[in-house]
């Protein structure tokens, strides 16, 4: 059985490019093509939501030319693939603070979200300008404001708090590519009971076969959620 919600830390684009003597941006370009491959595979396998860490709140610290390329990538990606995503009934969403991106980047993302909003297949959620601590902080502030304004009681439950986050669902499987085994401020709340799968494969080389391996690993796990 496929997990319902899968999240991926897409790591290793830079190393993939370096191995080939190419600029880091070439790794990101190939990495964007991998998003298409993996989204289509996830849909085939019955995964309902795929969350991809495409740009972290820390990524602004990268050299200006790399940041500027990463800001252009959503445009290049959707130009190439939006029609196919529509045909396949895939719904695009995002998690993160979009408003910090250049207006053109915001426009292409909002356009893809609007265009696909009635699709009923896989939800492809791009985590962009996303940081988990920031996500929780924003959620807490919003809740505190609502209580202060008398809009709601001071009666927060875990389930209710989830609704203040960009991503409300628990995640079943988290994959990180490229051999790194860190969370890097990704979905800290949502990963509380998640199975983790780490692979040495670099993100641009990740594909359907590798996704199947991760799902097989997941299916071999005995998830107990704290029970016995």
Residues forming the active site? 11, 59
Nearer to ligand FPP, 78 or 218 (CB): 78
Residue closest to ligand FPP when measured from CB atoms: 14
8 Å CB contact between 124 and 167: no
Binding residues for ligand FPP, rule: CB under 6 A, are 10-15, 28, 31-32, 35, 54, 59, 73-74, 77, 126, 178, 203
Q: Which is nearer to ligand FPP, 4 or 36 (CB)?
A: 36
Per-residue buried b or exposed e for 140-163, using 16+ beta carbons within 10 Å of the residue's own CB: eeebeeeeeeeeeeeebeeeeeee
**Nearer Cβ to ligand FPP (3/12):** 12
CB of residue 14 to ligand FPP, shortest distance in Å: 2
Min dist. Cβ of residue 55 to ligand FPP (A): 6
CA distance 51 to 166: 11
Give min distance, CB of 94 to ligand FPP, in A. Answer: 9
């Amino acid at each position: 059985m496929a997990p319902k919600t899968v999240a991926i830390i897409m790591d290793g684009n830079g190393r993939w490019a370096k191995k080939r003597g190419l600029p880091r941006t070439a790794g990101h370009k190939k990495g964007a093509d991998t998003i298409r491959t993996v989204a289509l595979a996830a849909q085939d396998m019955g995964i309902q939501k795929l969350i991809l860490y495409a740009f972290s709140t820390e990524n602004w610290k990268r050299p200006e030319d790399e940041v500027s390329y990463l800001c252009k990538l959503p445009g290049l990606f959707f130009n190439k693939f939006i029609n196919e995503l529509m045909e396949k009934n895939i719904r695009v969403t995002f998690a993160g603070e979009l408003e910090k991106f250049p207006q053109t980047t915001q426009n292409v993302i909002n356009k893809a979200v609007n265009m696909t909003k009635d699709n009923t297949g896989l939800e492809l959620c791009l985590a962009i300008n996303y940081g988990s601590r920031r996500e929780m902080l924003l959620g807490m502030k919003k809740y505190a404001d609502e209580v202060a304004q008398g809009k709601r009681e001071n009666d927060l439950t875990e389930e209710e708090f989830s609704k203040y986050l960009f991503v409300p669902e628990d995640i079943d499987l988290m994959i990180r590519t490229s051999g790194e085994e860190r969370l890097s401020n990704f979905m800290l709340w949502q990963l509380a009971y998640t199975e983790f799968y780490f692979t040495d494969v670099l993100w641009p080389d990740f594909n359907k076969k590798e996704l199947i391996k991760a799902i097989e690993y997941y299916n071999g796990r005995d998830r107990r959620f704290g029970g016995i």
